[in-house]
Structure 1
Amino acid sequence: MLANYLIGLREGLEAGLIVGILIAYLGKIGRRDLFGRLWFGIGIAVAVSLGVGALLTWGPYAMTFQAQEVLGGVLSLVAVAMVTWMIFWMGTHGRTLSAELRGQMDAAIDHSWIAIVVLGALSVGREGIETALFVWASVSGGSDPVLGTFGAVLGIVTAIVISWGISRGLVRINLSKFFTWTGLFLILVAAGVLSYGIGDLQEAGVIPGQGQPAYSLTAIIPPGGWFSALLSGIFNFTPEPTWAQVIGWVVYVAVTMSLYLGMLHRRSRPTPVTAAAPTASAPTPAAAS
């Protein structure tokens, strides 16, 4: 539940910030008449996201077991790729997000009302589809799908409340630190989803090695216990992973975490200030003497 709550909270905050920036900018330039078109596009994004979630939830039931496992494994890998891209995109574009959105809104206003609808749909729809796909992949591998789904919904509701509070000046939050720490946490969550997806592909026979665990932690973390359920719900933990799952988890965490920490280090370094060259009209010390 905690992992899905943070997924919903983070993605919901990103969408809320985007909506807030677009609404505030339209108000600032005196184009409140365009609010309806923007909200129409946002409504389309929400409907598409809910449709994707419903399709992922009920669509596979008409498929064979092997087809379900292949679909589950592939979508888990896609979810990991999307959330990884999202983490790095927010890390590199967070500081310029407001300027980029204002530029896109200016371009949409210059074209037609349809462009504003499309901008609202694409800006929020990306976050919504990422949320639907990643939450589905996380819930599928968890021990309690209902609780996991509730956690995601609760996170989205919390994000809506926080976004409203920020827009009214009632809530102050260091968004840079929030996205930094949740990014680190989501890397570990994504690694668990990756491991789960590999397991699905092994059960379908796409990847060899099913039924050959690399090690067993059942003596330390018994299946069915509260601690096992907690780890499974947050990190898709399995006490007897295969070698493919272990290798996939370790490689993903090592590579992604190294790149992410490197990005944070580069972002934290102060920008060097170059000294301005003396102008031709300014006398040098030697000339002045």
Structure 2
Amino acid sequence: MFAAFLLALREGLEAALVIGILLGALEKFQLQSLKRSVWLGVAAAVGGSLVVGWGLNALGMELEGQAEAAFEGVMMLLAAGLLTWMIFWLHRQGAAIRRELEHDVRVETQRRGAWGLFLVAFTAVGREGIELAIFLLAARFAAGALPTWGGALLGLALAAFGGWVIFTTTYRLNLKRFFQLSNVLLLLFAAGLVAHGVHEFNEIGWIPAVVDPLWDIGHLLPESTFIGQVLTALFGYNANPSLTEVIAYLMYVVSIGILVLPKPSWRVART
């Protein structure tokens, strides 16, 4: 549930920020009459995301046996790939989000008017919605349907409230700290998705397990317990993983973590 909550909060807050920046830009450029186009774009993006999520969920429910395992493995890796892209994008471009969106508003309203602004809102919010649909489908495979949808609804509700608070109190809120913390959690969550995807491919023979299991601590921390379920949903915990699962998890955390996590600053004391 917490993984779905975190993902929905992250994506929902980004969508709320996008909407707020677009509306703020219209106020800044005295184009208040075009706000309706923003909300129409948001509504279309939400509707499209729901359709994509329903289609993926229906497809996954109809598959059985090896086809179901292959679908789950592909969706796990796809979700991990999208998370990785998002982490890198925010790491490099996060500080320029407001400036880029304001530039888009200025250019598109001059070039295409209301239709251009509709496309800006639809594209920006739709990307977040489709990403969230894929993330939640992957989370559902790991944690179950009810905890996933419950956590997602709670996260979206909090994101909507947070977006309202942000843009009714101040237009210049620095979210750098929030994104840094969530990047660490999402890095570990993405690593768990990678390992889970490898596990599914182990089962159908697409990736050899090599050693299976590498260890078995199910008697100490079963996956069926509350803590085990939380760790499984958040970080891809497996009480009896294969060697290739462990290698995939560690390689992802180390390689991506080195590139995006803040580097410690070492100071040598002078005597």
Q: TM-score, normalised by structure 2?
A: 0.91
Report how far residue 53 of structure 1 moved.
1.4
The corresponding residue for 2:115 is 114
Distance in 2, matches of 1:236 and 1:265, equals: 25
Mapped to 1, the partners of 2:27 and 2:161 lie a distance apart of 21
Q: Distance in 2 between matches of 1:128 and 1:122?
A: 10
- TM-superposed deviation, 1:265: 4.0
Cα-Cα RMSD: 2.1
Aligned to 1:55: 55
Q: Distance in 1 between matches of 2:27 and 2:173?
A: 23
Equivalence for 2:138: 137
1:170 is displaced (CA, Å) by: 7.5
Partner of 1:44: 44
Cα gap change, 1:70/1:211 in structure 2, threshold over 3 Å: closer, same or farther?
A: farther
Deviation at 1:174, TM superposition (A): 5.0
- Judging changes above 3 Å, is the alpha-carbon distance between structure 1 residues 29 and 91 closer, same or farther for their aligned structure 2 residues? same
SS at match of 1:141: helix
- In 2, Cα distance between the equivalents of 1:210 and 1:120? 48
* More deviation, 68-77/171-180: 171-180
CA deviation string 1:192-212 (max 9, x = no partner)? 111111112222322222882
Change (3 A) 1:153 1:221: same
Separation in 2 of the partners of 1:108 and 1:255?
38
The answer to whether the 8 Å contact 2:70/2:204 transfers is: yes
Structure 1 match to 2:268? none
- Equivalent residues, number: 264
Which sits farther off after the overlay, 87-96 or 5-14?
87-96
Structure number with greater Rg is 1
C-alpha contact 2:223 2:232 (8 A) present in aligned 1: no
Deviates more, 1:59-68 or 1:18-27: 59-68
One-letter identity of the residue aligned with 2:23: I
Runs (5+) with no aligned partner, structure 2: 266-271
1:139/1:63 CA distance change after superposition, 3 Å: closer
Residues 135-167 of structure 1, C-alpha deviation per residue, up to 9 Å, x if partnerless?
21122112x320122111111110100100111
> Which deviates the most, 149-158 or 162-171?
162-171
Give how far 1:36 is off.
Answer: 1.2
- 4+ runs deviating over 3 angstroms: 170-174
- Structure 1 unaligned runs (5+)? 269-289
CA contact (8 A) 2:211 2:243 kept: no
SS at match of 1:134: helix
- Once the two structures are TM-superposed, the CA of residue 173 in structure 1 deviates from its matched residue by 6.6
